[in-house]
Structure 1
Amino acid sequence: MATAAKVQTHDIVVVGASAGGVEALSTLVSQLPRDLPAAVFVVQHLAPAFPSALPELLSRRGGPRAVHPVHGEEIVPGRIYVAPPDNHLLVRPGYVHVVRGPKENGHRPSVDALFRSASAAYGPRVVGVVLTGHLDCGTAGLLSVKARGGIAVVQDPDDAAAPEMPASAIQYVAVDHVARLPELPSLLERLVAEPVTSSRPARQPVALGELEGEEPGLPAEIVCPQCQGSLTLGEVGGFQVFRCHVGHAFSFESLAIEQSEEVERALWAAVRSLEESAAITRRARARATGDLQGRLGEKEDVQLQQADLIRGMLLHGRAKERSDVAEGDAPAAPGHPG
């Protein structure tokens, strides 16, 4: 007698969070049952240089046990796998990869890399969850989840400490569920118990290609701010992603931030170089005589003036940014839109 095929459920849950995420994750997992019939994978953006106590914090909240997995660890239901600091957490069929690959949107671990790898390995069995955070991390990854027949869940931006990540996901992705944080645990419990209805197969990633995009894209005529390699521009569902051949990836917003920081570093390096040149010129002038001494004095003055000009641009630009942020955060006056 033929054995009935096992009914597949949505037993792979991937969660991405950034600013405000520790509190959101703590609330979420505290209401999940210990024996949740799904494995949960979490990327929370944290400082890479310091150890993370997030697994211990989440485990104390009473839900499924949380761990920092090791490379090659087997996936089991009822467990929360938290990305270790400065490492990507990737999902492969039956086990996890923990690797130091190229940063995406300036982050390692990357929400998008986790979502993309899970959708490639498990297709329609995946539930992708985007929580609070700045910028647009998670949007490209959630598009991958949907493209493979998975379910897209987003925290209500009005309920998020930082609404940009969930708002971006809602803008670009055909989201299945938008819920406030207190509603998410029961929603996930229901979703992981539901049978998979999509027939779209998972796509196994090519060797060493877990961090690469779906398609190479077209030349962008811009260099990568992290490795100076050429960038290509690809698009999924109207959302555009820049990627270099090494694997660094950027949305428009994150690329603008990275390039701005690169320009600032270059300008501060120019200030240092000009001041060092002026110091050398000053020493040479002290040894010189006649017309040469005068010319060296003029050269030193020009170098110091150039250094002061660039420093003033940098400092005034920072002051203006702080002023703009303060004005943007200030409450609107009565009768005026915020």
Structure 2
Amino acid sequence: MAGIDGMPKGIVAVGASAGGVEALGEMAAGLPADLPNALLVALHLPANAPSVLARIIDRSGPLPAMPAKDGAPLEAGVIYVAVPNHHLLVADHQVLLSEGPTENGHRPAINALFRSVALHFGPRSIGVLLSGVLDDGVLGMAAIRSRGGITIAQHPDEAVFAAMPTNAIQAGVVDHRVAAADVGNLLAQLADRELEEQDMDKHMQPDDSMELENRIAMGRRFSTSFDSEALGPHSGYTCPDCNGSLIMVSEKNYRCRVGHAWTADALLKARDDEIEGALWVALRSLQEKAKLSRKLASNVSPGMLSQRYTELANEAEHAMSVLSRRLSEAASVAGERGAD
């Protein structure tokens, strides 16, 4: 049953990315109408686009869903849905929205939500990770488990994009694997579990690193009221967002001086994007060089100068042809890997 005055018995934090709207709809449809927990949902959203996700979830099942509002009290049987360009967090049994630094390039970020719920609710927290790419949510699932909470992943075989739940399973941070439509039944079963006071005390001990990362996520935009260097040593890598030095929080977790967070997989993807961007700039520059060299060659009399411009054009066109072919081959290989 719910607590006094509608206070939730526990908190369910749900994270999803690509393919997540479908999975969230299936999950919402299977939720029991008397669920004694509050639910918070973070889906990767474009920063400047309106979102109708709360409306979709609200229409999908028996529990009311609403866009999260800063300071709203957490109530049992209510689904609070992240809004664009804000992290969805919790504090003092209330919803907290922040414009803290992005994590894996996202705001809202799943890791930020899961970490916040783990810190404030410990064994009374449940993390649910649905369809998505890369590995946002894996560190958050680990945080929930470390504080005595329970973790659930959508079964990869039925996820539209299996990478997020698969990465969590491979990392060993998942307690249950179920279809999205069966999450509600499992939550109902877990809601009946009783927690001993000593279990609460054991799992709610201070965690300086997790608390600092949570404070960073809670901060105002462009805030510098924290020392990220306290999280670990310098990694030798730079942040794709601001080019600042990245601190190694753990083997697969990095933060820069101003707070941007990256997992190893997301950092690799960002580097791929940087390399592809640089190659496209090189391709455009070679094309313009060849075109300008041809024009200069045609504007001078035949001779050594004309020959020099022609040679420059030939070299640029050859390099352009090689680079274009390599880019096409790389794109084909990436497509085949994506299909796998």
Q: TM-score range by the shorter chain?
A: 0.7 to 0.9
Q: Residues 258-273 of structure 1: matches in 2 within 5 Å? A: 258-273=270-285
Higher helix residue share: 2
* Match of residue 209 from structure 1: 216
Is 1:124 matched up with 2:159? no
Identity of aligned residues (%): 36
Deviations 1:146-187 (A, max 9, x none): 122222222333343333322222232453333333432122
Give the whole-Å Cα distance in 2 for the aligned partners of 1:39 and 1:214. 35
Change (3 A) 1:272 1:100: farther
Q: Residues 1-338 of structure 1: matches in 2 within 5 Å? A: 10-197=9-196, 198=199, 199=201, 200-201=203-204, 205=211, 208-210=215-217, 216-235=231-250, 240-289=252-301, 290-326=303-339, 328=340
Contact 2:90 2:96 in 1 (8 A): yes
Provide the aligned C-alpha RMSD in A. 3.0
Secondary structure of the structure 1 residue equivalent to 2:315: helix
Change (3 A) 1:320 1:166: closer
| Bigger shift: residues 98-107 or 13-22 | 98-107
Contact 2:32 2:184 in 1 (8 A): no
* Match of residue 331 from structure 1: none
Change (3 A) 1:28 1:282: same
Give the whole-Å Cα distance in 2 for the aligned partners of 1:86 and 1:309. 41
Cα deviation, residue 110, structure 1:
1.2
Cα deviation, residue 205, structure 1:
4.1
Structure 1: state its 5+ residue gaps. Answer: 329-338
Change (3 A) 1:117 1:214: farther
Change (3 A) 1:202 1:72: farther
Contact 2:111 2:138 in 1 (8 A): yes
* Code of the aligned partner of 1:244: C
Secondary structure of the structure 1 residue equivalent to 2:284: helix
| Bigger shift: residues 197-206 or 256-265 | 197-206
Give the whole-Å Cα distance in 2 for the aligned partners of 1:325 and 1:47. 22
* Match of residue 221 from structure 2: none
Structure 2: state its 5+ residue gaps. Answer: 219-225
Contact 1:9 1:193 in 2 (8 A): no
| Bigger shift: residues 36-45 or 300-309 | 300-309
Contact 2:8 2:75 in 1 (8 A): no
Cα deviation, residue 283, structure 1:
4.2
Cα deviation, residue 26, structure 1:
1.5
Change (3 A) 1:217 1:106: same
Give the whole-Å Cα distance in 1 for the aligned partners of 2:63 and 2:49. 24
